[in-house]
Each structure stands twice: as structure tokens, then as C-alpha cells.
Amino acid sequence: MAETARRTADQDFETGRALPPFVRVAGLEAWNRYAAVNDEFVGIHMDDAAGQAAGYPGAIGMGNLVHAWLHALIEDWLDGRGRLTSLECRFRAPALKGDEVTCAGVVQEREPREDGSTQLLLDLWADRHTGDRLVTARAVVLLSS
């Protein structure tokens, strides 16, 4: 039984394996919660007029919130079987009110280490429901030995 569970867990980390998607809806409710925790009550994230003055259709989401959602994607997927060591994001477009944002990724590389642990390189992204790519990212994960 334990061997079957280990094989199944190992399959989660094979090169080419997709991470299960992490989906959230962008909007004032999520932005206000994030702003309250991070003291980030900035007009462009709260007020449509401020967003429009900056050239957007209205208020826009925080880039760091999408970064946090990617982090949550990884932590949910790892489920205590490893730890995130780095996460780098490139922002292409902001999340807009009402966007359903899907964070997803794939195991790009798997490298055994001398200490018996395994390092994974992940390619990640966040897309809005229209298919527009908001963020591309790369992460390094160290699996528990």
C-alpha cells in the first residue's frame, strides 16, 4: 500500500506533468482582502476612475496578488511533500474586475541532488478566462527526500 502511494506521489512530479489549476475571480472583494493584509490601498486597485486615468478600463488587480495565487498553486500541489525555493514572475497584463484567473503549470525539469532530495523546475502561468496570458513564471521546488 505504501509503495503504491509513493509511486502515485512520484508520478505527480514527473517531467511534463501538469499541476492542477488554481482558479480565482479577480475583483474588489479579493483585492480588498489582499490590500488589507499588505496595506496596499492604492487608488488604481480600488477605484475605476483611477484605473481609467492610468489607461485601463477600470481598477486593476495587484500583480503581487497573482504572484501569491501562483504560490498557492504550488503549495496546494506540493501538499507538504516539498518546498518552494524560488518563484519569478513576468507580468504581461493586469487582472481586471470580473476576470476568472487560472494559474497553472507544468514540471519542466527534474534533477536528483547529492543529498537525496530532488529539485524541480516548473513553468507556470496565469491566464484570464478570455485566454489572455497575464503572467509567465518559473519556480524551483525542492522535494522532501
Task: Say how many domains are in the chain.
Answer: 1
The domain that contains 17 carries what CATH number? 3.10.129.10
The helix-helix angle for 28-38 and 63-78 (nearest 10°) equals: 90
36 lies in a domain?
no
Burial of residue 91, with CB atoms counted within 10 A of its CB: 0-12 exposed, 13-18 middle, 19 or more buried: middle
41 lies in a domain?
no
Compute the average pLDDT of residues 18-22: 97
Compute the average pLDDT of residues 49-75: 96
Give CA–CA dist 118/75, Å, rounded: 16
106 lies in a domain?
yes
30 lies in a domain?
no
The confidence band for 5, taking pLDDT boundaries of 50, 70 and 90, is very low
- Check pLDDT > 80 for residue 1: no
34 lies in a domain?
no
90 lies in a domain?
yes
pLDDT digits (tens, 9 = 90+) for 88-107: 999 999 999 999 999 999 99
Compute the average pLDDT of residues 11-17: 93
Query: What residues form DSSP beta bridges with 82?
Result: 143
Question: Does the pTM of the predicted model rise above 0.85?
Answer: yes
109 lies in a domain?
yes
Range of the domain at 109: 2-25+61-143
Q: What is the mean pLDDT of the chain?
A: 92
